[in-house]
Amino acid sequence: MSDIIEKVIEQDYKYGFVTDIEQDTLPPGLNEDVIRTISRIKNEPEFMLEWRLKSYRQWLTMEEPTWAKVRYPEIDYQAISYYSAPKKKELNSLDEVDPDLLDTYNKLGIPLEEQKMLSGVAVDAVFDSVSVATTFKSELEKHGVIFCPFSEAVQNHPELIQKYLGSVVPHSDNYFSALNSAVFTDGSFVYIPKGVRCPMELSTYFRINAAKTGQFERTLIVADEGSYVSYLEGCTAPMRDENQLHAAVVELVAHKDASIKYSTVQNWYPGDPKTGKGGIYNFVTKRGTCLEENAKISWTQVETGSAITWKYPSCILKGDNSVGEFYSVALTNNFQQADTGTKMIHLGKNTKSTIISKGISAGKGQQTYRGGVQIMKNAEKARNYSQCDSMLIGEQCGAHTFPYIDVRNSSAQMEHEASTSSIGEDQIYYCNQRGISTEDAVSLIVNGFCKEVFKELPMEFAVEAQKLMEVSLEGAVG
Amino acid sequence: MNHFKSELDSMQKNWSEEPRELSELRQKAFNRFSECGFPTKKWEDWQFTDFSPFDKTKFRISSADDVKDIDKSYTQSFADSFSIIILNGHYQPQLSRVPDGVKIQTLLDIFIINEKADLSYTEENPFIALNTSLMNCGLVVDVADDIQIDKPIHYQFISTAVEDNIMNHPRLLIRLGENSSTEFIEHYTGENTSLYWNNCVTVCELRKNSELHHTRIQEDTGYHTSNLEYHLQNDARLNTLFFNSGTELYRGDVNISINGQNAAAELNGLSLLKNNQHMDMRVIVDHAYPHCTSNQFFKYILDDKSTGVFNGRVIVQKDSQKTNSSQSNKNLLMSKNASMHSNPQLEIYADDVSCSHGSTTGELNEDIIYYLRSRGIDNESAQKLMVEGFAGELLVNSKNEKISAYLRNKLTSWLKSIKNG
């Protein structure tokens, strides 16, 4: 086994390259002027600037949290440039897109044209901070669905932005979300009107490109009464020696009978395999609220990248009978560290939540599941089921499970289960006996381990996720 | 805080004949205590408990005058056992009886003859530091090598009604020799006429191939804080049962460090809560050696407005391969206003291990109650049956039938008390 593990540790990041495009970049540093400049470049209405400044002032009073079980050198927030955009703007069609940029996507295996024709997926591609191409817009417009870059939404639908921005993750929520609220440059906005079932899966490809540019994305999805939307998010980033900070905020709002499915495949640069140098810091705040009855929010994530992941997609189950789900596969290899999990807050009656978390730790990877389940006083008959399993591959990795369970209502039913183990020698032996090589056997076992989560992903993503697991563990586990 | 300082000063004045080493230790520990103070909501591992009552009430250290009439009935709980009696923090050798091969010394004796005793206190825990500085009742129980004691040793810590609010900081060291086996019952009882506080530290050392059955029954009615430490060497076996029912405010820390191969620890705990009781337990099992086993099984039954906290952590260090560890916390809420915080945690740095944990919280299953009622069992009896079944699982594990009968009785009367109230 050990030489197989060696092999995966030696695996290089396949998507490491830098695209040469000129960028409009603000000099590094953060102060109120920078925020005013960002707001001016974005041509934002007054309320946005005020909100940004309010967040910034709040951020100044806050301290960087240290409770997560991750270690990293101190971040110099003044050394980061808070705005960077490709020079060409206002593109009408794909032909106008910088060929270099298109090439980048092609290298990543996401040719826009092909996707446009074949997959039926509308892609809002984010290249650094400004969205440069949006497809399938007209199809969506027919149904009244709004799916556009955040900056566009601020111009065209300020009333929706003003109503929902910060309604789930307030500007003062935590250190990184406050920073994001102050300096975010773009992201995606989705609004599904009453009773509409979004005709296609919506997706964004994130990509971090410019050196020393922190990426601060803001995603806001609002599903009005009786609507349904499935949103896909996937990302890869080029190889780089300096750590890149990524502090995104995702807010989901589900009204009565609405349902939101949010899926993520994350494969950012995890840092140099030998030294752990470089790699992305992924400090994300994701939260959804089931505002009214029968709403449903489902998070699915496959996390294989980033040097450090610090992420807890959460659900606030406010409406009666609302449902929250969290399905996660997280892989840490080499020097990666992940502190991830979820928070389910039961406020309404008959609310239900399910947590399925699968962690795989290899090499020197350190992984922590940190989850909170709170059943509040009025959450009659609330129900939670949590299962967190960890798999350890290699002698130097670690897997930790820290659930926080609060029950304040006696009619609640709350179950939590977790296990940690390695792949058994006998399991491998059994497969070997049947003519399956050790690598294939490990792959088989890992895939079986993650199956419960993969089956929750939309079809296109499920294939990608399985491929990603294979690539990430190739040699190590098959 | 100043109040504790003056208690320490008067203590040192009264006991001026104490060896210098000891009084320096007290001072050092007190400095540590005043540095950190009582835990606040911001302390991650202490956040669910309000510790301000300890500071608000002016507790004084119990004095020799607090020991008055000794009622013989105190000593009769388990007739067929050896006993160690402590009355309001004062050891009563004339009432105590221990078997051959077991030596009892007070900590003061140990200091005077300059023997060694582990009186270290961890930096993070203010209650251990406070206990070290205000230690007013220290006992060291040594069990010789190769001895099997067939009857349990019953350590009784009795708090009687005293007009003032008194506090005790007892320190108990139990040291088991190689290949020895002992059953030890640590029993706290008390009258509920005045408020008192017992801040206990118990350290058990299990040398090679020794076996300890430790039952800790906490029925005293005042405030109770406890720190239990167990050190297990090669092939040592530990079996514990923690029974908590009395106190209004309880915080218990249990630390198990496994410092040898093939050691095994079984931890069981049952807490019964009603009214405004608050019980907070934190259990840490630290596996530092390979081929060891630990199992935790903790249950809480909560009624009225009570709150329970269970905070358990299993740490498997880097080279502790083949560790087998499980952790289970099951909680039964009998009332709408009761609440439970459960944080079972795993921290694992070795790959060839099998570790699991589970936690459930809920109320009695209506379907089962319905089933029982449809067979002619009234609601109350059906509930009683189920609760007894839920808790009984832990009590049958006890090695000693007398203890398990005693605790089952306690459970039954507790159940009656909540039904009447």
Dump pLDDT digits (tens) for B288-312.
Answer: 999 999 999 999 999 999 999 999 9
Give yes or no for a contact between A257 and A288, defined as CB atoms under 8 angstroms apart.
no
Predicted confidence (pLDDT) per residue in B13-24, tens digit: 888 778 888 888
d(CA A297, CA A252) in angstroms, rounded, equals 8
Q: Write the CA distances from A136 to A88, A129, A148, A149, integer angstroms.
A: 21, 21, 11, 13
Residues 170-229 of B with CB under 8 A from A: none
Residue of A nearest to B307 (CA): A408
d(CA A98, CA A22) in angstroms, rounded, equals 11
Q: Is A391 on the interface with B (CB under 8 A)?
A: no
d(CA B404, CA B191) in angstroms, rounded, equals 23
Query: What does pLDDT average to over chain A?
Result: 79
d(CA B336, CA A408) in angstroms, rounded, equals 8
Q: Is B357 on the interface with A (CB under 8 A)?
A: yes
Give yes or no for a contact between A222 and A164, defined as CB atoms under 8 angstroms apart.
yes
Q: Is A372 on the interface with B (CB under 8 A)?
A: no
Listed range (A69-73, A136-140, A198-202, B365-369) with the worst mean pLDDT:
A136-140
Average pLDDT over every residue of B226-232: 94
Best CA proximity match to A448, nearest among A475, A472, A476, A469:
A469
CB contact under 8 A, A400 and B351: no
% chain B with pLDDT above 90: 46
Residue of A nearest to B338 (CA): A408
Q: Is B34 helix (H, G, I), strand (E, B) or coil?
A: helix
pLDDT of amino acid B175:
93
Give yes or no for a contact between A262 and A234, defined as CB atoms under 8 angstroms apart.
no
What H or E segment, with its residue span, contains residue B132? helix B126-134
Listed range (A55-59, A212-216, B394-398) with the worst mean pLDDT:
A212-216
pLDDT of amino acid A5:
47
Of the pLDDT bands very low, low, confident and very high (cuts 50, 70, 90), residue A124 is: low
Count chain A–chain B contacts defined by CB atoms under 8 A: 110
Give yes or no for a contact between B388 and B360, defined as CB atoms under 8 angstroms apart.
no
Higher pLDDT, A108 or A259: A259
Give yes or no for a contact between A249 and A233, defined as CB atoms under 8 angstroms apart.
no
Of the pLDDT bands very low, low, confident and very high (cuts 50, 70, 90), residue A208 is: very low
- A32: its two tokens: 């109120």
Of the pLDDT bands very low, low, confident and very high (cuts 50, 70, 90), residue A239 is: very low
Q: Give one word for A166, left, alpha or beta, with left for phi > 0 and alpha for psi -120 to 50.
A: left
Q: Is A68 on the interface with B (CB under 8 A)?
A: no
Average pLDDT over every residue of A347-359: 93
pLDDT of amino acid B164:
84
Best CA proximity match to A274, nearest among A8, A2, A69:
A8
d(CA A146, CA A196) in angstroms, rounded, equals 11
Of the pLDDT bands very low, low, confident and very high (cuts 50, 70, 90), residue A12 is: low
Of the pLDDT bands very low, low, confident and very high (cuts 50, 70, 90), residue A259 is: very high
Residue B306 dihedral angles phi and psi, to the nearest 5°: -70, 155
The sign of the CA dihedral A49, A50, A51, A54 is: positive
pLDDT of amino acid A171:
86
Of the pLDDT bands very low, low, confident and very high (cuts 50, 70, 90), residue A13 is: low
pLDDT of amino acid B195:
87
Give yes or no for a contact between B404 and B396, defined as CB atoms under 8 angstroms apart.
yes
Higher pLDDT, B68 or B94: B94
- Check whether A386 has a pLDDT greater than 50: yes
d(CA A459, CA A469) in angstroms, rounded, equals 16
Q: Is B339 on the interface with A (CB under 8 A)?
A: yes
Query: Tokens 């826009």 belong to which residue?
Result: A112
Mutate which of A343, A405, A419 to test chain B, going by most B C-beta atoms within 10 A?
A405
Average pLDDT over every residue of A96-122: 49
d(CA A312, CA A342) in angstroms, rounded, equals 4
Higher pLDDT, A214 or A75: A75
Q: Which of B318, B341, B358 shows the shortest C-beta gap to A417? A: B358
d(CA B125, CA B123) in angstroms, rounded, equals 6
pLDDT of amino acid B184:
93
% chain B with pLDDT above 70: 94
d(CA B359, CA B307) in angstroms, rounded, equals 16
Give yes or no for a contact between B1 and B15, defined as CB atoms under 8 angstroms apart.
no
pLDDT of amino acid A83:
76
- Check whether B26 has a pLDDT greater than 90: no
For chain A, give the secondary structure using H, E and C. Answer: CHHHHHHHHHCCCCCCCCCCCCEEECCCCCCHHHHHHHHHHCCCCHHHHHHHHHHHHHHHHCCCCCCCCCCCCCCCHHHCECCEEECCCCCCCHHHCCHHHHHHHHHHCCCHHHHHHHHCCEEEEEECCEEEEECCHHHHHHCCCEEEEHHHHHHHCHHHHHHHCCCCCCCCCCHHHHHHHHHCCEEEEEEECCCCECCCCEEEEEECCCCCECECEEEEEEECCCCEEEEEEEEECCCCCCCEEECCEEEEEECCCCEEEEEEEEECCCCCCCCCCCCEEEEEEEEEEECCCCCEEEEEEEECCCCEEEECCEEEECCCCCEEEEEEEEEECCCCEEEECCEEEECCCCCEEEEEEEEEEECCCEEEEEEEEEECCCCCCCEEEEEEEEEEECCCCEEEEEEEEEECCCCCEEEEEEEEEECCHHHHHHHHHCCCCHHHHHHHHHHHHHHHHHCCCCHHHHHHHHHHHHHHHCCCCC
Of the pLDDT bands very low, low, confident and very high (cuts 50, 70, 90), residue A69 is: confident
Predicted confidence (pLDDT) per residue in B161-175, tens digit: 788 888 999 999 999
Mutate which of B359, B364, B368 to test chain A, going by most A C-beta atoms within 10 A?
B359
Predicted confidence (pLDDT) per residue in A413-440, tens digit: 888 988 888 888 888 899 999 999 888 8
- Check whether A110 has a pLDDT greater than 60: no
pLDDT of amino acid B223:
92
d(CA B129, CA B118) in angstroms, rounded, equals 14
Higher pLDDT, A119 or B276: B276
CB contact under 8 A, A410 and B338: yes
Best CA proximity match to A335, nearest among A298, A359, A306:
A306
Of the pLDDT bands very low, low, confident and very high (cuts 50, 70, 90), residue B77 is: low
Give the residues across from A127 on adjacent strands: A130, A207
Residue B65 burial (10 A CB sphere; 0-12, 13-18, 19+): exposed
Query: Tokens 């005058």 belong to which residue?
Result: B65
pLDDT of amino acid B181:
94
d(CA A69, CA A92) in angstroms, rounded, equals 46
Higher pLDDT, B348 or B122: B348
Query: Tokens 């289970």 belong to which residue?
Result: B328
% chain A with pLDDT above 90: 28
Average pLDDT over every residue of A147-157: 86
- B86: its two tokens: 């402590």
Q: Is B284 on the interface with A (CB under 8 A)?
A: no
pLDDT of amino acid B213:
94
State the CB neighbour count (10 A cutoff) for residue A50: 12
d(CA A109, CA A121) in angstroms, rounded, equals 15
d(CA A78, CA A80) in angstroms, rounded, equals 6
CB contact under 8 A, A393 and B336: no
pLDDT of amino acid B230:
94
pLDDT of amino acid A112:
54
Min Cα–Cα distance to chain B from A115, Å: 42
Residue type at A446?
V
d(CA B138, CA B110) in angstroms, rounded, equals 10
Of the pLDDT bands very low, low, confident and very high (cuts 50, 70, 90), residue A8 is: very low
- Check whether B71 has a pLDDT greater than 80: no
Of the pLDDT bands very low, low, confident and very high (cuts 50, 70, 90), residue A117 is: very low
Higher pLDDT, B229 or A210: B229
pLDDT of amino acid A115:
41
d(CA B401, CA B407) in angstroms, rounded, equals 10
pLDDT of amino acid B224:
94
Give yes or no for a contact between B270 and B330, defined as CB atoms under 8 angstroms apart.
no
d(CA B9, CA B27) in angstroms, rounded, equals 10
**Which range, B3-7, B71-75, B226-230, has the best average confidence (pLDDT)?**
B226-230
User: Is the reported ipTM for this assembly greater than 0.90?
Assistant: no
**Which range, B16-30, B151-165, B276-290, has the best average confidence (pLDDT)?**
B276-290
Which residues in chain A have their CB less than 8 angstroms from residue B334's CB? 410
pLDDT of amino acid A188:
85
Predicted confidence (pLDDT) per residue in A388-420, tens digit: 999 888 788 888 999 999 999 888 888 898 888
- Check whether A232 has a pLDDT greater than 90: no
Q: Which of A409, A413, A420 shows the shortest C-beta gap to B355? A: A420
- B179: its two tokens: 């290949």
- Check whether A206 has a pLDDT greater than 50: no
Best CA proximity match to A252, nearest among A222, A227, A215:
A222
The sign of the CA dihedral B407, B412, B418, B420 is: negative
Instruction: Enumerate residues 6+ apart whose C-beta is below 8 A from A200.
Output: A120, A121, A122, A136, A139, A140
Q: Is B335 on the interface with A (CB under 8 A)?
A: yes
pLDDT of amino acid A420:
86
Which residues in chain A have their CB less than 8 angstroms from residue B318's CB? 395-396
- Check whether A290 has a pLDDT greater than 90: yes
Predicted confidence (pLDDT) per residue in A439-455, tens digit: 888 888 888 888 888 88
- Check whether A228 has a pLDDT greater than 90: yes
Of the pLDDT bands very low, low, confident and very high (cuts 50, 70, 90), residue A130 is: very low
d(CA A222, CA A159) in angstroms, rounded, equals 13
